[in-house]
Amino acid sequence: MIQAMGTIPSQQPELVGKLPCCNYCILEILLNPDLRRAENLEAEPGFEKEFQIQFRAHRDRIEQICQNCNHDCMLKKIALRTYDDRYLLQMKCIEILKLDRSKKLDKEITWEQAVRIWYEEKLDDKRTCAERFSKIWKYILPNLTAIGAYKIIITTAENYQNWIKQFQLLQKEEEDRKEHGR
């Protein structure tokens, strides 16, 4: 295992891990191991300037997620460089789950708890929110909001299956239109 850019070694070899000052890091869960490989982190010329300018819009989201850590670290930089629509939508859904669960419990839950619920807690069809999200992602329409995706994910198994069927029908209809030039 290695240390990279002021981080402590993660449990997997050659992966960038959390800072020594952090007891827990949500980004170690949310960022897949390929993105955290130390060999992929060679800073490109001008990367620090790019980091400060290009990713400012997403910086606030990262700081909310890393609310117990006010340091710059490579995991934050990796997260900012690798955001895509799927990742952003899933993070927003986890945030909504965090707020929703906090309201139901009448006390705020942590990001760590929300992530664990998302990835580990089984719903009535024995799937996790993460598993449901992965399934509906391929059907998500461009206009579906995070709150819309979240509502589909947490609904009953029967309603969830109905949504999947509707998404499949819409996808088939779109494919038919493209095939027949309509």
pLDDT at 38 over 70: yes
pLDDT at 48 over 70: no
Q: What is the pLDDT of residue 170?
A: 86
Q: Identify the H or E element spanning 175.
A: helix 157-179
157-163 CB contacts, 8 Å cutoff, 24+ apart: 157/123, 157/124, 157/125, 160/123, 160/125, 160/132, 161/125, 163/136
What is the C-alpha end-to-end distance of the chain, expressed in Å? 56
What is the pLDDT averaged over residues 165-175? 88
| pLDDT band at residue 161 using 50, 70 and 90 as cut-offs | very high
Q: What is the mean pLDDT of the chain?
A: 78
Q: What share of the chain is helix, strand, coil (3-state, %, to 5)?
A: 60, 5, 35
Q: What is the pLDDT of residue 87?
A: 78
Q: Is the pTM of the predicted complex or chain greater than 0.85?
A: no
Higher pLDDT pick, 84 / 147: 147
- Within 8 A by CB and 6+ apart from 87, the residues are 30
Q: Which amino acid is at 90?
A: Q
